[in-house]
A and B are shown apart, each in its own frame.
Chain A
Amino acid sequence: MSTATAAHGAAVEPAESPLTPESWGKLGMWIFLAGDAVGFGTLLAGYGAMRATSADWPNPYAVLGINLTALMTFLLICSSVTMVKALEWLSRGHRDKAKMFLALTALGGAIFVSLQAFEWTHLIHRGLHINGNPWGASLFGTSFFLVTGFHGLHVTAGVIYLLATIGVVSRRPRPMDSYNFVEITGLYWHFVDLVWIMVFTFMYLL
């Protein structure tokens, strides 16, 4: 503890904590994300185990198609960029610009979920169901809907979170007052993007 405080230069708090008051929120979000990462990690590892032990696992690339999903991946990366831009504008004191970029981020998330709904509808019509499909192992559909659904739920929650964040940025007296809040929102949003990078690779490309 003492070495960490010393490394930070000026004493931040009289207590023995190396954390600033702002970083407690960050710490909380990181702990939540670590737990969430274990959740996603377990789902993906379970997917791998089911696939490895099945003799008739369908070729995901052929069944799911990747054109739309590649676009969705790109969209989510773009929304991560608008998120960091919002933070950047906020640090320069431009509240309206920051709010606009937060709104763009939320829009990106909303479009992502809509495209996912479109993709699911399409796949269900072609016969990919949660309890079976025409191409092979029934667990393929189960795991596909479970993992992408769990991620889609995170994106939906993220959009709501972002809209609430815009409200916070509007209410606080000075732009910098909400910097920490926006940064924590960003942590969640980038995590959702990070998880999608993994899901896209392991469930669509491999």
Chain B
Amino acid sequence: MAEHKHPNYMAIFYYLAILTAVELGVIFLPIPKIFIAALLCVFAVWKAALVAMYFMHLKLETRTLALIAVTPLTIATLLVLVLLPDGFAVAKKTVDEKKVAAPAAAEKH
């Protein structure tokens, strides 16, 4: 083990902090909820990629490790695709018949 190259960690930290702040801001945007959801997903994946690439050094590693990292992503994507039809089955949505009695404090919401 000779030298270890280290990315500029503080830059990544500021990057992540700013993205988190932007995420919190996005919630209040006056646009349809579906766009907010899409934006939030983009930011989440963006932040996760930054952590994996720089903090977990995936950018500096061999391709073998990158392939291992991509495997669960592929499986998760397939899983979402499989579950997608359920989400569109609007007519079959379930409702809880019996709700738990609300404590007094919960009434505010």
Contacts and interface: CB of A to CB of B under 8 A. Distances in A.
A193 B101 CA distance: 36
Counting chain B CB atoms within 10 Å of each CB, the highest count among A19, A37, A84, A87 belongs to A84
Interface residues of A, number: 73
Q: What's the dominant secondary structure at chain A's contact region?
A: helix
Given A41-B75, A61-B27, A201-B41, A56 B4 contact: no
B89 interface: yes
Contacts of A205: 23-24, 27, 40
A45 interface: yes
B9 A81 contact: yes
> Which range contains the number of B residues in contact with the other chain?
35 or more
B72 interface: yes
Contacts of B93: 53-55
Nearest to B76: A41
Contact of B103 (A84, A134, A197, A198): A134
Contacts of A38: 72, 75-76
Interface of A: 4, 8, 18-19, 22-23, 26-27, 30-31, 33-35, 37-38, 41-42, 44-46, 48-49, 52-56, 61-63, 66, 70, 73-74, 77-78, 80-81, 83-85, 87-88, 91, 125-127, 129, 131-138, 176, 179-180, 183, 186-187, 190-191, 193-194, 197-198, 200-202, 205-206
**Top 9 A-B pairs, shortest CB-CB distance:** A134-B102, A52-B87, A132-B100, A41-B76, A37-B72, A201-B44, A55-B93, A49-B83, A190-B55
